[in-house]
A and B are shown apart, each in its own frame.
Chain A
Amino acid sequence: MGVLSDPKQRQKIIKAVTKYNKLLCVILYLGGVFGFLALAFEPFHAGTYFSENALLPGLVENEFRLDSEARSYNEELHKEIKKSDKTLPKDWMFKQFQNLGLDTYYHNFSLHYPFGMPRDKAIPGQNIYSILRAKRASSTEAVVMSVPLRHPGVMPNEQTSGGIAVMLALAKHFRKQTYWAKDIVFVLTEFDEIGMQAWLDGYHQTKSDYIISEDLPGRSGPIQAAINLEIPGEAVTSYNIKLEGLNGQLPNLDLCNLVVRLCRKERAKVTLNKQVDSYERESWDSYKQSVTTMMYMMWNQASGTPTGNHGLFHRYHIEALTIQGTQEEKPYKTLGVEQTSRLVEGIFRSLNNLLERFHQSFFFYILPSTRGYISIGLYMPPFGAMIAACLIKISLFQAIALWISRYEEEEEDKETEDKQSDDESQKVTDAVSGIVSIIPVIAISMLMASLAYTGPKLLTNVSHPFRLRPEDSLMFGLLALFCASVAFPKMFNKKKPDHAVLHLDWKLLKCIALIVQSLTLFSIALMNISLAFFIGVAMVPVTTLIVPTTSRSLLLLLLVSPASLVFISSIIAAWLDQHNDISQLLYMTWGNMKHCIFMKLLDLYLFGNWTYTVMSFVIFPCWLLFWAIPNCNTDIDV
């Protein structure tokens, strides 16, 4: 604090910052990135623990003894599914739940496909749900067990019939128990997430433009937690936990810990994003494994797309996750529907013990393994350091130009060679009148951003007359828009003689652009750290170091443009799908890119996914601001 009151010391700091600016930027950036990655090393983060004591995981004795019922449900269901390869035996499932004496209902909804189809055409869908009324409460609280209904045509390891058998067996067992204090709602949803969203919309009476949900005939109280099961009919070898929800929201860490703990109790192998924990703790191999697990999680989280039905619950403040049964080549142990039933029984009994909503543990975390977590308190400082690189850069310009302009004059007297650029800045400030010169650039970038955001609706309308598929029309349309934006500096000053370059106060523009960038990245980080981290890693080094009229800056900036970011992420996605051959990789990338943009838009319309909005409305204009810098002239006189 003495720094603030003592002008001499303040000046010293400013001098130091300006002198070693580049070095500081590089150190902060590299420190931030490597510090972030280093957090995956086990000694650097804390081990998981239960914050909510009321859960009492595994304390109660498992009472589920209906092993043969579970197996016979599974076999019967298998037979019923085989009867037809087009329709699902929904009536059979409905009857099974009703026969158990539960309040069973159909829930109808319809989907208006946002792309291409006429608005009045709707695809009908139907969910089944069944409520077990708790004896110990008056339907004021509920927990949900859900299974997506998948058509018999899907791959065997994506079937969910095992989950339905588990559900039926548990419903039969649960009904006889007297200890339930929360209603249990069994939900079977058609079309995976779409059905789930329709059901949640119906339950909370929220409206959606494209998913039209009918009123639910029966209800319970506020939902406290939800478990989604994706268990195939055959025996599985391990359970995979999926956490990432819509817009990168995560369930409370306690719920995840609970599932991990109970899997261990069942002596079942448990994985996160199909990555197994390594046995050693402090070796290079285990670190590599942790980083991989962490990166997989961050990759999924950054996309903002839910990884399963559970992802849609988070918006309603319902903690939810998916347990997926996975099959491996060399099994350590096979787990049939009876083991899964016991696992889920344990989870539900723990949830039943809850007195309050989940609130104790973390909502913002990254998991490098099932036994450790990186909390928001740990990952924010390295992330902050990374972003601080931009802010330090701002101080180079702004500290001198605006913030404490009083000292600037003094400094200019003692100007040395390495302050050459500041001299220039002074000249430009004199020449082009400050803020006025950059307003057109800001306006143009905002305009482009709003075009990019609203464009898709227009593009899908024209796709039909041009006989293009909506994917293609979107892809080409957005690419065209991007090219137009890239060319904007060229068209900007057409009337001027040297219209190839812009006349503006590039330092001020860069300051503003850097401030906008760091602000947006920080706000994204508060909701979806992974997205902010990946964008930051790519953009921060380029944007902090660009200077006008160098082709290197131009190239680098193009490399981190939103379009190339989508391209790069598509390459990574294709590579993760094990397409190692170059030609195949590129082919897949092209497909992925189309698919990615298309799916993000679909998610935006159906579920309210922000990723497309963030990219088009926040990152894109921010990038356009930077794009003006290498295209502008520094030594001009108007």
Chain B
Amino acid sequence: MISTLLGESVAILVDSHVEELLIKPLPSGHVYFHFQFTTKWDESLDQPDSFKHYGLFPKSLGDVLTTYKVQELHLSQTQGLWHHDKWGYPVTSAPPGAELWVWFQPTITNIDETWSELVNALSGHFCSSLNFLDSKSTVAPRWSFRPHGVASEGYSSFSRFIRYGALPREIVCTENLTPWKKLLPCNTKVGLGSLFKAIKLYDANYHSLGLHVRPVCRNSECKETSIELSQSLSVVFDPVTSNWSLKKIFGDFLSSRCPLTTSSKIFVDITSNLPDPIFTLSPEADSIKTVKRGDDTRQYAVYDIGLQTANGRVFNIASRYDKPLEYTDIVKPPVSAQRFITGYGLEKGGVTSLIYNNLDSNLTVIYMETLPWFTRFFYKSLTLSNQGTLVQPYKINYIPGKDRGRPYHLEIVFRLRANSVTKISYDFERAFLKWTEYPPDANHGFYIGSAILSTVLPTSVNYTTPPQYSTVLENSFKDDSESYFLRLHTETLLVSLPTPDFSMPYNVICLACTVVAIAFGSIHNLTTRRFTLLDPSKKKGILAKIKGLFKRS
């Protein structure tokens, strides 16, 4: 009886889990570690009733998804900025701070209300201030964020079902890592998760937690969908002396694989060892894989954690450089961006974005910008220019902001000419806030979220993102597509607003009281007394005399 029940439940719960780690030494001397955990569950998000028997998929998250009718959910929590110029492209791009974008199911009735409930639920779930994503910082992008998973044409062509919000000021730390790692089937007890020591992780130059849920094809026919939960952790370390090892970076060895995984592997990008080796890896890789993806050929050393940690061995990958790294000019990635505040003074300001196209071909890009209401954007001042000539954008989607209600939202589709720099610039006015609207550290400044650049690259140089159909890294090794979707987040900006001197109230109270005490009486007297002309020669009546007597006293 029990065995039949078990057999049944095993038959129902079809889910798989893959853990991977991609290690990529970057030309700037930094080392990039990307942990990828992918859980695929053969259940459909359209049928919430079936979300009853959970296996590897975390129940807490499943409940959130079904309650709020989520179709796709993308959350990233990041500390530090990804420097595209030096590091190329990450596996998943994320802006500094927190970013959340969600596609809701078409059956939803009140999307704004559901969004606000959802962000509150996620806020509690991930210990971050996502609940601050209210109408003042939420937008519905039209072109920049298409569904990542399986979606019908009719559904994805409307931006009705999407909500996007970012918190550039959110600080990411241990309290965000803990709930995130609890969603892993093996937590941090065994497997790659055992390397997550907060004290080491948060010493990194860049650190990003990602969580992406989307429907994917269950099989190649794609008649049914499955849910894919992709959790990723990216860290960039600066080993100072170029040599690195897992022990040195994470403070621990690997001693086991997660037994719930179908595959657990480590890939080390050794392309820079071609043609002349500049570093040696120990122990030797289980296999060397040469991957041709588009026009880019890369070589990976593949380690199977299961094999390496068999028989209770501890496993540590170490890389030794024969001679100290020489810093040279780094080849820029195909498309990169630089964004900054211009001008000075506290009345007006400007933002300029420089978008570099280092390719020999033109590209069509979508540039998205979300400005908080207190930086009042001037649409008229928006200019796109390329080496002095104005660029006419194909399309512009602009939703003006509303004071204390709605952010300014701008999406521009335009052509990026080959081998050139396109400059997008605009002016804004700094609003004077109400005194209760200032944060405790008002003079620190206010953050403006990243601008987002989306495009499709014709080349895969520097590109590491797995293909559309699966987030498993290994799948990117057998990707034969010829165009590569790229999303790029620019810098967040810090603007100072005109700020009153908050240490003044005491002085103001003193001054105000003095002024009131001295001036009020006499001014009140002057303004309320009635002056009448009296003729001294005229004789006063008795009544008036008595009155006058009383007035004197």
Contacts and interface: CB of A to CB of B under 8 A. Distances in A.
Contact of B343 (A136, A139, A175, A205): A205
Interface in B405-436: 421, 425
A133 B344 CA distance: 23
B447 to A, nearest CB: 7
Nearest to A222: B494
Contacts of A75: none
B496 A222 contact: yes
Interface string B438-474: 0001111101000000000000000000000000000
A139 B240 contact: no
Interface string B50-80: 0000000000000000000000000000111
A206 B441 contact: no
Given A1-B526, A317-B344, A356-B443, 17 more contacts: A4-B522, A5-B522, A133-B83, A138-B80, A138-B491, A138-B492, A139-B491, A140-B96, A140-B491, A205-B342, A205-B352, A205-B425, A218-B85, A219-B338, A356-B442, A356-B444, A357-B444
12 contacts: A2-B522, A5-B522, A101-B327, A103-B86, A135-B238, A138-B491, A205-B340, A218-B85, A221-B340, A222-B495, A222-B496, A355-B444
A232 B501 CA distance: 40
A1 B341 CA distance: 51
A206 B83 contact: no
A73 B365 CA distance: 47
A316 B519 CA distance: 40
B486 interface: no
A475 to B, nearest CB: 34
Contacts of B83: 133
A99 interface: yes
Contacts of B341: 204, 222
Contacts of A218: 85, 338
Contacts of B522: 1-2, 4-5
B28 A140 contact: no
A542 B59 CA distance: 88
A135 B80 contact: yes
Interface in B372-407: none
A170 B541 CA distance: 95
Given A1-B521, A178-B203, A221-B493, A204 B444 contact: no
B149 interface: no
Interface in B493-546: 493-496, 499, 501, 503, 518-519, 521-523, 525-526
A4 B523 CA distance: 10
A360 interface: yes
Contacts of A222: 341, 445, 494-496
Interface string A138-157: 11110000000000000000
A357 B205 contact: no
A454 interface: no
A99 B325 CA distance: 9
Contacts of B78: 138
A357 B445 CA distance: 8
A357 B497 CA distance: 12
Contacts of B328: 98
Contacts of A204: 341-344
A342 to B, nearest CB: 22
Contacts of B343: 204-206
Contacts of A4: 522, 526
Interface in A80-100: 98-100
B204 interface: yes
Interface residues of B, number: 55
Contacts of B326: 99
A4 B526 CA distance: 9
Interface string A313-328: 0011100000000000
Contacts of A1: 518-519, 521-523, 526
A40 B28 CA distance: 55
A138 B85 contact: no
A140 B85 CA distance: 17
A467 interface: no
B447 A140 contact: yes
Interface in B131-190: none
B25 interface: no
A317 B495 CA distance: 12
**Top 9 A-B pairs, shortest CB-CB distance:** A1-B522, A138-B96, A356-B443, A138-B81, A205-B342, A140-B494, A316-B344, A356-B444, A359-B443
B88 interface: no
B29 interface: yes
A612 B342 CA distance: 28
A635 interface: no
Interface of A: 1-2, 4-5, 98-101, 103, 133, 135-141, 175-176, 178, 204-206, 215, 218-219, 221-222, 315-317, 355-357, 359-360
B494 A221 contact: yes
Given A4-B522, A355-B444, A140 B493 contact: yes
A135 B204 contact: yes
B240 A135 contact: no
A101 B205 contact: no
Nearest to A178: B203
B352 A101 contact: no
B215 interface: no
B318 interface: no
B350 interface: yes
A333 B238 CA distance: 40
Contacts of A315: 344
B354 interface: yes
B90 to A, nearest CB: 14
A206 B445 contact: no
Interface string B213-256: 00000000000000000000000001010000000000000000
B79 A357 contact: no
Given A101-B327, A221-B491, A221-B493, A355 B441 contact: yes
B131 to A, nearest CB: 22
Contacts of B441: 355-356
B344 A101 contact: no
Contacts of A316: 344
Given A4-B522, A5-B522, A218-B85, A135 B443 contact: no
Contact of A206 (B81, B344, B499): B344
B292 to A, nearest CB: 32
A176 B499 contact: no
Contacts of B526: 1, 4-5
A204 B349 CA distance: 10
Contacts of B97: 138
A222 B492 CA distance: 11
Nearest to A356: B443
Nearest to A137: B80
Contacts of A359: 443, 499, 501
A275 B526 CA distance: 56
Nearest to B86: A103
Nearest to A2: B522
B30 to A, nearest CB: 9
A5 B86 CA distance: 75
A205 B350 contact: yes
A141 B169 CA distance: 13
B352 to A, nearest CB: 6
Nearest to B352: A205
A5 B447 CA distance: 54
Given A1-B519, A178-B203, A357 B496 contact: yes
Contacts of A176: 240
A221 B342 CA distance: 11
Contacts of B342: 204-206
Interface in B318-349: 325-328, 338, 340-346
Contact of A140 (B492, B503, B519, B523): B492
Contact of A357 (B238, B443, B447, B518): B443
Interface string B190-210: 000000000000011100000
Contacts of B523: 1
